[in-house]
Amino acid sequence: MSAVLHGLGRFGLHLLRAWLDRPDGGIDIVAIQDAHHSLASAAALLQQDAKVSFADCRIAAEDGALRLDLPGRQPLRLAYWHGPAAGSPWLGRADWWLECSGDFASGEAARAFLRGRTRRVIVSATCPGADQTLVFGYNHEHFDRRAAVLSYGSCTVNAFVPLAAWLHARYGVAEAEVGVIHNVPPHRLAGHPHPVRRPCTLQTEGPRLLPFLAAERFHVDYVLIPYTGPSLIDFRFELARPAAAAALLDALQAACSTGPLRGLYALEAGTPSTAALALRPESAVLSRPLARLHGRRLVLPAGFDNENSAVRYLDLLEAVAQRGG
Ligand SMILES: NC(=O)c1ccc[n+]([C@@H]2O[C@H](COP(=O)([O-])OP(=O)(O)OC[C@H]3O[C@@H](n4cnc5c(N)ncnc54)[C@H](OP(=O)(O)O)[C@@H]3O)[C@@H](O)[C@H]2O)c1
């Protein structure tokens, strides 16, 4: 499936890395489009980013393209366009438009990219008006080929929804709360000198995606903090039929290791430092020592590399491609 990547911000950069690591996933990124970075600045970003490493690639900007040489692979030439998306020569020239800029996160805005050969736009954020929101590991198998604008959810939606669905199927979720302490991208740090409470799209997307979760029985407390590392996310569930704490956590452990939550979550025997969560591919890394069950109330403290939620987006792209995308 040929695709144009729009947006080389934190999400786009993580996506590019994850995509390079999975050469056989059926997605062929042929061009990158970014309003902020020139080709030279994009090449420098790849060479110098403090977190996402492209040290295994030789990177060059040549003839309007990013050239990436990976050992043992054919050189990759990704055409590069610096400028507003509306003027991109790549409009309508690939099967998919990967909308990762953050600037077109509505169905109406995203539909502007459906032209020429481009039959699908996949938005890396909650997207009101999208034809479908598909959360990998929850409802990605419900992909409808008529859906032209897809949303992958968001980092918090992916962190919460499959876990809540799994808990509900076994123990019944009567209420839930999520506390998020979220980073900011390095280039926006100066504009965020203090922690600030913000609305989170999970607040509306959670009950919309999970029919058992009544909106009035769900709450998200989201705080953006002036810090650029991995983030924290704590889940609290009121369960209708809880098992004993050890049995419940053993079942969760098994689901994360070999069951339906495999690859999506980890339940760690210790509590990883927040820094150690950088580039972890799971949607949330739960800490067993911090987990607790008081009566019906289950508390699951976790951390996540929200930027690396791009791995879930790539999982979804590959799943959609396999279904004839
Ligand atoms: N970061 C996450 O944790 C995360 C997780 C899941 C989903 N998402 C979603 O993915 C989309 C993109 O998010 P993002 O985190 O990638 O945003 P971001 O890093 O702030 O990048 C967004 C845009 O900011 C501009 N930008 C990039 N680098 C810059 C720099 N060094 N200096 C100044 N401006 C720069 C770019 O274009 P412009 O100059 O044209 O703005 C870029 O497309 C959003 O819809 C977001 O909700 C993000």
Q: State the distance from the centre of ligand 1 to the C-alpha of 297, rounded, in angstroms.
A: 36
Q: Is the CB of 187 under 6 A from ligand 1?
A: yes
The string over 133-160, giving b where at least 16 C-beta atoms fall within 10 Å of a residue's C-beta and e elsewhere, is bbbbbbbbeebeeebbbbbbbbbbbbbb
Indicate which atom in ligand 1 lies nearest the CA of residue 7: 43
The pLDDT score that the predictor gives to residue 106 is 98
**Using CA atoms, how far apart are residues 1 and 95, in angstroms rounded to an integer?**
6
Mean pLDDT of the 186-215 span: 97
What's the pLDDT at 81?
98
Percent of the chain scoring above 90 in pLDDT: 99
Instruction: Give the pLDDT mean for 118-130.
Output: 98
Whose alpha carbon is nearest atom 4 of ligand 1?
307
pLDDT mean over 197-218: 98
Report the topology of domain 155-306: Dihydrodipicolinate Reductase; domain 2 (3.30.360)
Cα(102)–Cα(9) distance, rounded to whole angstroms?
A: 9
Q: Tens of pLDDT along 283-295?
A: 999 999 999 999 9
Residue nearest to atom 3 of ligand 1 (CA): 307
Compute the average pLDDT of residues 195-201: 98
The per-residue pLDDT for 194 is 97
The pLDDT, as a whole number, for residue 186 is 94
pLDDT digits (tens, 9 = 90+) for 209-256: 999 999 999 999 999 999 999 999 999 999 999 999 999 999 999 999
Alpha carbon of 208 to ligand 1 centroid (Å): 25
Write out the residue limits of the CATH 3.40.50.720 domain(s) in the chain.
Answer: 2-124
Per CATH, domain 2-124 is 3.40.190.10: no
Q: Is the CB of 125 under 6 A from ligand 1?
A: yes
Percent above pLDDT 70 for the chain: 100
pLDDT in tens, 42-95: 999 999 999 999 999 999 999 999 999 999 999 999 999 999 999 999 999 999
Atom of ligand 1 nearest to the CA of 306: 3
Helix, coil or strand: residue 142? helix
pLDDT in tens, 106-117: 999 999 999 999
Contact 281, 17 (CB under 8 A): no
Of 316, 317, 312, 303, the C-alpha closest to 270 is 303
Residue nearest to atom 39 of ligand 1 (CA): 36
**pLDDT for the residue numbered 282:** 98
Substitution site in 5, 6, 8, 11 for ligand 1 pocket (most atoms within 8 Å of beta carbon): 11
Where do you find CATH 3.30.360.10 in the chain?
Answer: 155-306
Rounded to the nearest angstrom, the distance between the alpha carbon of 169 and the centre of ligand 1 is: 35
Distance between CA atoms of residues 307 and 67, nearest Å: 24
Backbone angles phi, psi at 293, to 5 degrees: -125, 115
Which helix (H) or strand (E) segment is 231 a member of? strand 231-239
